[in-house]
Structure 1
Amino acid sequence: FRTLKYECIFLHDYATMTELSNGLEGFVEFFNQERLHQGLDYQTPDEVFRSGCFPEREIDIQVA
C-alpha cells in the first residue's frame, strides 16, 4: 500500500469519494498495465500474469 499512498493518495487532494474512487481506479490500472516493476524483470504485472510464468521466490522457512 506504500506505493498507492505515496504516488496516488498523498499527491492529490480528493474532494469527494467519487474523485477518490476514480483516482484509485486510474492508478491501479496504470500500476498493473503500464508501470514496469523491477521485481518482475521490468515487466508489468499484467504481462507476467498473462504469460503464466510467475517469478520464483525464495522463501526462508524457520522451524523452531
Structure 2
Amino acid sequence: WRSVKYECVYMRELTTVSEEKEQIGSYFEYYNNERPHQSLNYKTPKAIYLL
C-alpha cells in the first residue's frame, strides 16, 4: 500500500469519493500492467504472471 499512497493518493488533491475510486483504480491498472518492479527484475506483474 506504500506505493499507492506515495505515487497516487498523496500526489493528487482528490475531492470526492468517486474521484478517489477512479484514480486508485487507474493506478492499480498502471501498477500491475505497465510499471516495472525492481523485485521482478524490472518486469511488470502482468508479464511475470503470463510466463
Q: TM-score, normalization: structure 1?
A: 0.77
Q: Between Structure 1 and Structure 2, whose CA radius of gyration is higher?
A: 1
CA RMSD of aligned residues (A): 0.5
User: Could you tell me the percent identity over the aligned residues?
Assistant: 33
User: Could you list the runs of 5+ residues in structure 2 that have no partner in the other structure?
Assistant: none
Give secondary structure in 1 for the equivalent of 2:50. helix
User: Could you list the runs of 5+ residues in structure 1 that have no partner in the other structure?
Assistant: 52-64
Q: Which amino acid in 1 is paired with 2:12?
A: H
Give secondary structure in 2 for the equivalent of 1:47. helix
Q: Which has the higher helix share?
A: 2
Q: TM-score, normalization: structure 2?
A: 0.95
Q: Which amino acid in 2 is paired with 1:38?
A: Q
- Counterparts of 1:50 and 1:28, CA distance in 2: 17
